Amino acid sequence: MTYINRIKEIAEDDVFVLEKKDAEYGGSWCKRGGVGAFMMLCRKWDRLETALNPHAVAGDLREAPISVTIGKPIPAYDILEAGEQDSREEGILDDIGDLRRYLLLVEAEIRERQDGK
């Protein structure tokens, strides 16, 4: 299987997760308007950047900080290697998924507003 074959599976899972979370939390992600929604996206991006940015912590600037967390050397900013090596439940893949789903929510809300005009 190649990465392109996984897209439908990932997208279908995103729909399932978003529907479940919406039933649980409603529209709390946009409760504070567009600025709050943007900050929510920033927070997820910041988590990824902090894990992969060698300037985020002192030490070897050739390795990502996540190297310490997972106990394996990961080159700075190598999100593919970090994702492959990180087996933590709330690791890189979790942050990527959250960011992708939040982006879907934001896009859906914007399209809904545009259609309502």
CA 109, CA 37: separation in Å to the nearest integer?
10
Classify 76 in phi/psi space as left (phi over 0), alpha (psi -120 to 50) or beta: beta
Half-sphere exposure of 21 (CA within 13 A, CB side): 13
pTM: 0.89
Output the pLDDT for position 61.
62
Provide the residue-wise pLDDT of the chain in tens; the chain has 117 residues: 799 999 999 999 999 999 999 999 999 999 999 999 999 999 999 999 999 988 766 555 678 889 988 998 899 999 999 999 999 999 999 999 999 999 999 999 999 999 987
Q: For residue 54, what pLDDT is reported?
A: 80
Q: Are 52 and 82 in contact (CB under 8 A)?
A: yes
What is the residue extent of each domain of the chain?
3-115
Q: Which of 34, 36, 76 lies closest to 57 in space, CA to CA?
A: 76
What are the phi and psi torsion angles at 74 (to 5°)? -125, 125
pLDDT of res. 44: 96
